[in-house]
Amino acid sequence: MLKKLKSRSQRTFKFALAGVCLLVLIGTRGDAMRLDVVQEIAAPYSYDIITWHLENFLSKWTHRVFRAIPGNGISSEDRLARVEEYFALGVDASKLKSEIDRIAVNASDPGESGVVDVESELKELRARKRKLRADVEEAIEAGISEVARAAGLGVVGEFVFPPVDIRLTEPPKVLVTSPRDRIERSLEVLVDPHVDVGDREAMESRLLESEDLAAIVLDIGGVATYPASLYDGGNLRGTLRTAAHEWLHHYFFFGPLGQNMFKSPEMQVLNETAADLAGRELGGLAYRFLGGALNAGEQGIAAVSASPTKPPEPSKDEFDFDSEMRETRRQTDLLLTQGRIVDAEVYMERQRLRFVANGHPIRKINQAYFAFNGTYAESPGSASPIGGQLREFRERMAGVGEFVEKIRGVSSYEEFLSMLDEGSNG
């Protein structure tokens, strides 16, 4: 009985911690609610983030309460089996969507060519995924929590704060803008995930014509809402990395790094790139912990101090997306610096066609495209030195936990450079 009472009090405490986190995260978004020109143009496709927070937070915790009722719980083995089934269904769903596209393109009358049967099968498959989703989310949350705890991050008693909380769904898209004469992330807004290509193009064109702003609507892998909104179509390893990335944004928020994120472009890049770097590492560890590529019994969470690994070099015979994109960014910056805006835009479109011809279906490359991707300093679309600086900083740390704690305490980019310089001279 004592054990049951202790377990119940732990769940109550965790619920309270999550509730505090939700209220704080929502309460800080007031300054972002001012109506600007981008929000006006995007209004017909706006994403109601406040309602999303409240509905999904309550829904997820309702499920947790249900699982806590005696007789409704499931074993760790069963939960992991559901994870495996969920992501296998995701692969099947992707194949069915491709089959629907193939039929629609090639058949003169899709209604008589089997597409209805395939759509029915896809609908049934998605329904099966929805039944599994809440348990899969809890398994992912448990995996990220375990490796974060092992790394010494956010530990409050037996809990991790803020609690890891995710929702596997279709995240909103983001409408990003930039001045045309330079690459700089400017006004932006989240829009409905189902907005079609025609409406995206219309919003982008209106902002170009009326405000002289480069604009683009982009897909994103996740948003640090609470619970975090994560793309539902990825594989387990990628989903864990994204979950860790978004949790780190929650964690950074309660320290100087997160609270000063929008004080300068450099701080935004520092925040996003640190979450990217550490998120990949924590996500990889969670993948191992959940029994991914490696047997959890062989290495488990003892690998928390492992150093980050660099991606393999592409074959010289292949189209090198990264180097081509870096060169595109470099040349675009050069043309804009010379005041040759139209030449830069013509060049970006010419390069886009090259990417498309080599199997990379990019809808648009403009200043806003680079402004958004440039926030992630290890992206090939970035010109920032912060990626290399952060990687050097990480390599000095004994483990990912020390790296996250050090960077979380940074209040300005100048402070980070000073810390980096001190380490070099030490």
Q: Both tokens of residue 324? A: 């081509």
Q: Both tokens of residue 182? A: 């330079």
Q: Read off the pLDDT of residues 302-320 as tens digits, 9 standing for 90 and up.
A: 333 333 444 445 555 588 9
pLDDT band at 292 (very low <50, low <70, confident <90, very high): low
Q: Read off the pLDDT of residues 335-366 as tens digits, 9 standing for 90 and up.
A: 999 999 999 999 999 999 999 999 888 999 99
Alpha carbons 345 and 73: distance in angstroms, whole number: 57
Q: Read off the pLDDT of residues 57-84 as tens digits, 9 standing for 90 and up.
A: 777 667 666 666 776 567 778 888 899 9
| Residue type for position 410 | V
pLDDT > 80? residue 109: no
pLDDT number for residue 318: 80
The mean predicted confidence, pLDDT, of the chain is 83
| Residue type for position 122 | L
pLDDT number for residue 270: 96
Alpha carbons 299 and 123: distance in angstroms, whole number: 39
Whether 342 is in a domain gets the answer yes
pLDDT band at 96 (very low <50, low <70, confident <90, very high): confident
What value does the mean pLDDT take over residues 228-257? Answer: 94
Whether 59 is in a domain gets the answer no
| Residue type for position 296 | A
Q: Read off the pLDDT of residues 372-396 as tens digits, 9 standing for 90 and up.
A: 999 998 888 898 999 999 999 999 9
| Residue type for position 84 | E
pLDDT number for residue 5: 32
Alpha carbons 367 and 215: distance in angstroms, whole number: 8
Q: Which of 397, 339, 419, 413 is CA-nearest to residue 151?
A: 397
Q: How many domains does the chain have?
A: 1
Q: Which of 26, 31, 82, 87 is CA-nearest to residue 57?
A: 26
Q: Which of 164, 184, 213 is CA-nearest to residue 42?
A: 213
Q: Which of 69, 72, 76 is CA-nearest to residue 138?
A: 76
Angle between helices 413-425 and 265-289 (to 10 degrees): 70
Which carries the bigger pLDDT value, residue 92 or residue 404? 404
What value does the mean pLDDT take over residues 123-143? Answer: 91
Q: Is 35 exposed, middle or buried (0-12, 13-18, 19+ CB in 10 A)?
A: exposed
pLDDT band at 148 (very low <50, low <70, confident <90, very high): very high
Structural domain that includes position 341: 322-359
pLDDT number for residue 31: 39
Q: Read off the pLDDT of residues 173-222 as tens digits, 9 standing for 90 and up.
A: 999 999 999 999 999 999 999 888 889 999 999 999 999 999 999 988 88
Residue 188 main-chain phi, psi, to 5 deg: -155, 160
pLDDT > 70? residue 49: yes
Query: Phi/psi class of residue 191: alpha, beta or left (left: φ > 0; alpha: ψ in -120 to 50)?
Result: beta
Alpha carbons 203 and 263: distance in angstroms, whole number: 28
Q: Both tokens of residue 418? A: 């000073």
Range in 20-29, 126-135, 194-203, 400-409 with the lowest mean pLDDT: 20-29
What value does the mean pLDDT take over residues 91-104? Answer: 78
Query: What b-and-e string marks burial along 46-58, b requiring 16 or more CB atoms within 10 Å of the CB?
Result: bbebeebbeebbe
pLDDT number for residue 38: 92
Q: Read off the pLDDT of residues 22-42 as tens digits, 9 standing for 90 and up.
A: 445 544 444 344 468 999 999
Residue 405 main-chain phi, psi, to 5 deg: -65, -40
pLDDT number for residue 308: 41
Whether 329 is in a domain gets the answer yes
Whether 353 is in a domain gets the answer yes
Alpha carbons 167 and 223: distance in angstroms, whole number: 10
Whether 339 is in a domain gets the answer yes
pLDDT number for residue 19: 52
What value does the mean pLDDT take over residues 272-289? Answer: 95
Whether 337 is in a domain gets the answer yes
The conformation of residue 46, written as its DSSP 8-state character, comes to B
Whether 390 is in a domain gets the answer no
pLDDT number for residue 170: 87
pLDDT number for residue 371: 95
pLDDT > 90? residue 105: no
Q: Which of 239, 31, 223, 208 is CA-nearest to residue 144?
A: 239
Contact criterion met (CB below 8 Å) for 270 and 416:
yes
Whether 332 is in a domain gets the answer yes
| Residue type for position 165 | D
Residues 6+ apart with CB under 8 A from 229: 52, 56, 166, 167, 169, 171, 172, 222, 223
